[in-house]
A and B are shown apart, each in its own frame.
Chain A
Amino acid sequence: MGTDLFERRVVISGVGQSVIGRQVDRSGLALTIDAILAAVEDAGLRLDDIDGLAMFPGGGVANLPGYANGNLYEVQDALGITTTWRQGIVEGMSLPFYGPAQAVATGQARHAVIWRTVKEGSASRNAGGRPAYGSTKPAAEGPLAWLLPVGMLSPVCQVAPYAARYMHDYGVTREQLAWIPVTQRAHAALNPDAVYTSPLTVGDYLAARMISSPICLYDCDVPADGATAIVVSAAETGPDLRAPVRIEAMAGVVEGRPSWEQWEDMGRVGYGAAAAMWARTDLRPGDVDVAQLYDGFTIEAVWWLEAMGFCGTGEAGAFVDGGTRIALGGELPLNTWGGQLSGGRLHAAFGHTAEAVRQLRGEAGHRQVAGAEVAAVTNVGGFEAGAALLTCW
């Protein structure tokens, strides 16, 4: 099917990350360059091979302190390269490699780097706790005007009502959902770069303080400092690359009402993207060996399990119960780097993409899924959703 799909003309050639931690005493620019240099080397390329640069978020979007780092101009100046394609991606970034893949597939760039750098760990420390949404802005305006005045001061408050509604409609319990953060913490213990690696139990989860019901502390991703860079290259350069990974299919769909408080049913946010993605491949959910599903909150991974068809609607609670299916060695190992819940909020599926590439190359160390040939990667940023399948070269 679809050998002329544009994503088949590109590969992910490199991934690189800076030091990752709750607080890292390096500037956002330094972290960004750390990650870019690592990614380019990982690809088997030289900096002068890079002719495309992109970042998320572009345009100085900073609803949260520490959210946006690694300015496009400063990075290009620091690297001393010439570009034929650049993009600061604010909206429309269903997946980190989506825009770069379009550019490479259409010949605007041959090797494009995209990065995402967060300093939210340090920002949280400086604020004495996770900062309020919009706290970097002088006044609530645009979409925030309907949220901040009534006390929806964080993405936690915005997602929580939909989590409550989902659990109400399908009878899904916190005892079941606990297995996602608990299992991912066990995975994080095998990842030397994860932020939190100490054991977490279902009892710990149930005893944790509530942030915005039904979302408790361990349902929230961990604010972190760190950078991830991804290199996207033309497939025809594959023989010259160290260890490229194919993009089998990808899609990004925004449907319904793109608004935190107006979504008809946030639990279905990924369905459009997943359906569009599956329509571009002959592979089926049962072919997926490892899943890196966006987990800004536990509930987002739950919704992705269902949207991707790994289980039916309303069945994810039973699917994850006990952790067997989603653990290493299970039928669908989930977020094998610990995910954002334990690995760190690297955001926008950059951490998820990096792990998918490592797994497909067999470079995931003690958490390697044996023989992984197909990896699912998904991202959701509020109401933006993107889904992809990556496969071995």
Chain B
Amino acid sequence: MFWAAASQGRLVVEGCSSCGAESFPPRGICRSCRGRAMVPVEITGRGVIYSFTVNYQRWLPDLEVPYAIVLVEFPGHPGVRVAGRLRGCPPEQAAIGMAVEVGFEPGPGGYATPSFIAAGGAT
């Protein structure tokens, strides 16, 4: 569900058809009411950086550094936090509270992996 939507550039998480709670990553069970009827929910709005790191270490021989990794949460979507790279600004400009747009970029194995684009300004 998540990776199929990701290939279309869409961020899809699990929503519970019983209680409405949302969750990520997909577990096939609602973490709030333990219901099993989970349906796709697309997140389209801006996210907010919960926290971040700027990685300088070349862990792999062909890894380009530095880059910023952000943990992003979404207003109105409690229970959803997504890790991804930050694009659209120098990595050192990443900041807690910064607004970001959802994006994806080509990743290993042909998968589209989550990334986020600096939206400018705090939410």
Q: Whole-angstrom distance between the alpha carbons of A215 and B57 in the complex?
A: 11
* Contact count A vs B, C-beta below 8 Å: 90
Q: Report B68-106 CB contacts with A as 1/0, cut-off 8 Å.
A: 011100000000010111000000000010000000000
Q: Report B3-30 CB contacts with A as 1/0, cut-off 8 Å.
A: 0000000000000000000001100000
Specify the chain A residue showing the minimal Cβ separation from B115: A150
User: Which of A206-214, A317-325, A354-362 is found at the contact surface with chain B?
Assistant: A206-214
B56→A151 contact, CB < 8 A: no
Q: Beyond A147-B83, A165-B50, is A157–B25 a contact (Cβ under 8 Å)?
A: no
- CB interface residues, A 90-142, toward B, < 8 Å: 129-133, 135, 139-140
Q: Whole-angstrom distance between the alpha carbons of A156 and B53 in the complex?
A: 10
Q: Beyond A149-B111, A153-B63, is A210–B56 a contact (Cβ under 8 Å)?
A: yes
Q: Whole-angstrom distance between the alpha carbons of A139 and B113 in the complex?
A: 15
- Counting chain B CB atoms within 10 Å of each CB, the highest count among A135, A151, A156 belongs to A151
Question: What residues on A are CB-neighbors of B107 within 8 Å?
Answer: 149-150
B43 at the interface (CB under 8 A from A): no
- Counting chain A CB atoms within 10 Å of each CB, the highest count among B24, B53, B81, B111 belongs to B53
Specify the chain A residue showing the minimal Cβ separation from B24: A262
A154 at the interface (CB under 8 A from B): yes
Distance to closest chain A CB from B92 (angstroms): 8
B52→A161 contact, CB < 8 A: yes
B58→A129 contact, CB < 8 A: yes
- Counting chain A CB atoms within 10 Å of each CB, the highest count among B25, B51, B56, B59 belongs to B59
A46 at the interface (CB under 8 A from B): no
Distance to closest chain B CB from A165 (angstroms): 4
Distance to closest chain A CB from B82 (angstroms): 8
Distance to closest chain B CB from A229 (angstroms): 32
**Which secondary structure characterizes the binding site on chain A?**
loop
A212→B53 contact, CB < 8 A: yes
Distance to closest chain B CB from A375 (angstroms): 33
B55 at the interface (CB under 8 A from A): yes
A261 at the interface (CB under 8 A from B): yes
A218 at the interface (CB under 8 A from B): no
Distance to closest chain B CB from A131 (angstroms): 8
Nearest first, the 8 closest Cβ-Cβ pairs linking A and B are A160-B53, A165-B51, A161-B51, A153-B59, A132-B59, A149-B113, A261-B83, A213-B54
Question: What are 30 A-B contacts defined by CB distance under 8 Å?
Answer: A129-B57, A129-B59, A131-B59, A135-B60, A146-B25, A149-B108, A149-B113, A150-B85, A151-B55, A151-B69, A152-B83, A153-B63, A157-B53, A161-B52, A161-B69, A164-B96, A165-B51, A209-B56, A210-B54, A210-B56, A211-B56, A212-B54, A212-B56, A212-B69, A213-B53, A213-B55, A214-B53, A259-B25, A261-B83, A262-B25
Using a CB–CB cutoff of 8 Å, the interface residues on chain A facing chain B are: 129-133, 135, 139-140, 146-154, 156-157, 160-162, 164-165, 168, 209-215, 259, 261-262
* Additional A-B contacts beyond A154-B57, A161-B50 (18; CB < 8 A): A130-B59, A140-B108, A146-B83, A148-B108, A149-B111, A150-B83, A150-B114, A153-B60, A157-B69, A161-B51, A161-B52, A161-B53, A161-B69, A210-B54, A211-B57, A214-B53, A261-B71, A262-B24
